[in-house]
Structure 1
Amino acid sequence: MPLSQATIFLIGVCVGALLFALGGWTGYAWGRRRGRRDATAPLQGAELLGIIDALSQWTSEYSGNVTRYQDELSSAARVVQDTIEAGNPQTTPIVKVLDDIMTSNQSLKQRLDDAERQLEKQTRSIEAYISEARTDALTQLPNRRAVDQRLDEMFSAWQKGGPGFVIAMIDVDHFKQINDRYGHPEGDAVLRQMAQLLTNHIEGAYMVARFGGEEFVALMPTPLRVAADRLDRFRKIVANQTVTVGEQSIQFTISIGVAECRNDLLIGPIVRRADEALYAAKGMGRNRVYFHDGKQPTLVGAPEVAV
């Protein structure tokens, strides 16, 4: 059945409205996202990743919409072509208009597809950058930045009724002497061995990480005394290990300070208690574990002589 000129005109209006709505929604969504933050503030890595992620989703969604519009235009063009073949030559200009629209639409779809692929590539690059920024290059453990972020998350969850946790500060004893006696490559080997021992023997920890220098951190479940006893067993395992680098065989010990959440309003006091317990362990001869119960550091087990 031939289409009237009014019907063809309505088809064109509908297609134009759909394309206009597509552009308008893109601008609205992007503006809304930008409006949630200070436009003058620099984008952080995670925030930038989120924006690219959202853009990728929008691009994918709109690419699909363009495909659907293209199908609808193709269907309309076939109807008009049938009308021409039925003997209504007045529709020839409309066919040309629809053909031009479909060509432009196809070009837009190609650009959107290209943009989507580029956004996916950028997202992967930023993910790799963020991961690298939170990983210690020598030991491949999370670094201090990652520890600080995880501590903030866990402390916030604990304040809202989530599980408590234990902070263990772990220090390699006399590490400067190891470097001076054996050399810095051998000292690096000791740190890598320490990282491997932590990964292998502190199972169930929320995180084990290198805090900086020869100091490591373990975030573990409560209760405090259970974690402290477990860390004391770990200390003995470390003391019985030997690191072999070339012809050098190195033994080392560790000192550990342990603390837990105790009606704290900030994360700082918990970290300070763990530090105080660590200093007590080092001050009393090293190769020891001390826990802080909120009042004072207390030795775990019997003292042993450091290697």
Structure 2
Amino acid sequence: MISPLTLFALGLVIGALLLVVGAYAGVRIGTKRARADQAADRTRVLTLLQELGSWTHEYSGNVSRYQDQLDVISKAVQAESQEGPNKVMQLLEQIMRSNKDLKKRLDAAESQLDKQTQQIESYLSEARTDGLTGLANRRAFDQRLEEMFSAYRKGNGRSFVLALVDIDHFKQINDQYGHQAGDEVLRQVATLIGERLEGAYLVARFGGEEFAAIMPTPLRLAADRADKARQILAAQSLDAGDLSVAVTISIGLSELRDDMVSGPLVRRADEALYAAKGRGRNRVYFHDGSDTILVGAPEVIS
């Protein structure tokens, strides 16, 4: 019979090997101790060896060279020969030495994988984020809009409102105060829109001085929230370096109807924005499917 000391050593090494394989595969395997007779312990050891052999076969490469060694140990345990314990201990020592080197390489590989994962996540984030304002960019907005529209058409998504926001007379701001001040205005307007359009599913820079938001329904409630954001901005001046800049925005909104594609939703919101810009700016209009309607009674700042 194999001595308890040998079985205990086997258990230690198997636990170590399981930990290494678990680190490589992203799975932690736990071992349990149980009080039983030597026959039960031997069966448990053989089972663990077979499981570990399966793992090393599945996750080949650096770990695969242990397969033959584990097979030899299994045969030694089964044979219960006089030379079995000595052979087992020799193989255990060899595995433990190799295991240290393998662990170092696995740790280095894991560190490199973490680094590459972070780089990929950063790249994907940058590819979907506007560098100036920190909002989602047009690409991310278009994708989210199509996803939500598709889900709605299939009957497993919610209706929503599209809001288009435009900074009034932005070219004049750039011409009068400079492009650096214009960039600061864009950043601050983006921050205000992101904070004040309560419950928005997504706020994005649509292009140039224009922003877009996907908001919950109902349409009139979304329009009231947009008008509140407009009022807050109109009541203050934005700091652009040493300059104080008065800024207003115009907003147009529309909601989903019996649209087969998302294009008509964008068109109606654009018509509402055009009405807001063409009828005095610094105001909010929504499109009810038939016509554009003014929200509130804003002061006119031309």
The two structures share one fold, judged by TM-score above 0.5: yes
Provide, for residues 137-195 of structure 1, a one-character-per-residue CA deviation record: whole Å limited to 9, x for no partner: 22222221221222122223322332111110000011001100111111112112201
Residue 218 of structure 1 is matched in structure 2 by 213
Q: Which structure 1 residue ranges, 4+ long, deviate > 6 Å from structure 2?
A: 69-80
Residues 298/18 of structure 1: CA separation in 2 closer, same or farther (3 Å cut) = same
Does residue 25 (structure 1) correspond to residue 58 (structure 2)? The answer is yes
Does residue 156 (structure 1) correspond to residue 150 (structure 2)? The answer is yes
Q: Which ranges in structure 1 are unaligned for 5 or more consecutive residues? A: 4-10, 28-58
Q: Distance in 1 between matches of 2:204 and 2:50?
A: 57
Provide, for residues 256-296 of structure 1, a one-character-per-residue CA deviation record: whole Å limited to 9, x for no partner: 11011112222222112111211121122222211112223
Residues 78/107 of structure 1: CA separation in 2 closer, same or farther (3 Å cut) = farther
Percent identical residues: 54
In the TM superposition, 1:3-152 aligns within 5 A as 19=53, 21-22=54-55, 25-26=58-59, 88=82, 96=90, 99-100=93-94, 103-104=97-98, 107-152=101-146
The question of whether the paired residues in 2 share the 8 Å contact of 1:228 and 1:290 is answered with: yes
Q: Distance in 2 between matches of 1:25 and 1:166?
A: 50
Higher helix share: 1
In the TM superposition, 1:277-288 aligns within 5 A as 277-288=272-283
Residue 191 of structure 1 is matched in structure 2 by 186
DSSP 3-state at the match of 1:302: coil
Q: Distance in 2 between matches of 1:2 and 1:228?
A: 80
The aligned amino acid for 2:159 is G
Residue 287 of structure 2 is matched in structure 1 by 292
DSSP 3-state at the match of 2:166: strand
The normalised TM-score by structure 1 is 0.70
Q: Distance in 2 between matches of 1:202 and 1:90?
A: 74
Q: Distance in 1 between matches of 2:101 and 2:68?
A: 11
The aligned amino acid for 1:296 is D
The aligned amino acid for 1:156 is S
Q: Distance in 1 between matches of 2:71 and 2:103?
A: 14
Which of 190, 204, 227 lines up with 1:209 in the alignment? 204
Provide, for residues 202-226 of structure 1, a one-character-per-residue CA deviation record: whole Å limited to 9, x for no partner: 2221122211210111211101111
The aligned amino acid for 1:208 is V
Residue 162 of structure 2 is matched in structure 1 by 167
DSSP 3-state at the match of 1:259: strand
The question of whether the paired residues in 1 share the 8 Å contact of 2:2 and 2:85 is answered with: no
Provide, for residues 199-250 of structure 1, a one-character-per-residue CA deviation record: whole Å limited to 9, x for no partner: 3322221122211210111211101111112212221221111013344221
Residues 296/26 of structure 1: CA separation in 2 closer, same or farther (3 Å cut) = farther
Q: Distance in 1 between matches of 2:83 and 2:209?
A: 86
Q: Distance in 2 between matches of 1:17 and 1:244?
A: 66
The aligned amino acid for 2:141 is V
Does residue 260 (structure 1) correspond to residue 260 (structure 2)? The answer is no
Equivalent residues, number: 258
Q: Distance in 1 between matches of 2:292 and 2:141?
A: 23
The normalised TM-score by structure 2 is 0.71
RMSD: 3.9
The aligned amino acid for 1:126 is I
DSSP 3-state at the match of 1:203: coil
Q: Distance in 2 between matches of 1:205 and 1:245?
A: 27
The question of whether the paired residues in 2 share the 8 Å contact of 1:257 and 1:279 is answered with: yes
Query: How far has the Cα of 1:76 moved from its partner?
Result: 6.7
Q: Distance in 1 between matches of 2:196 and 2:172?
A: 26
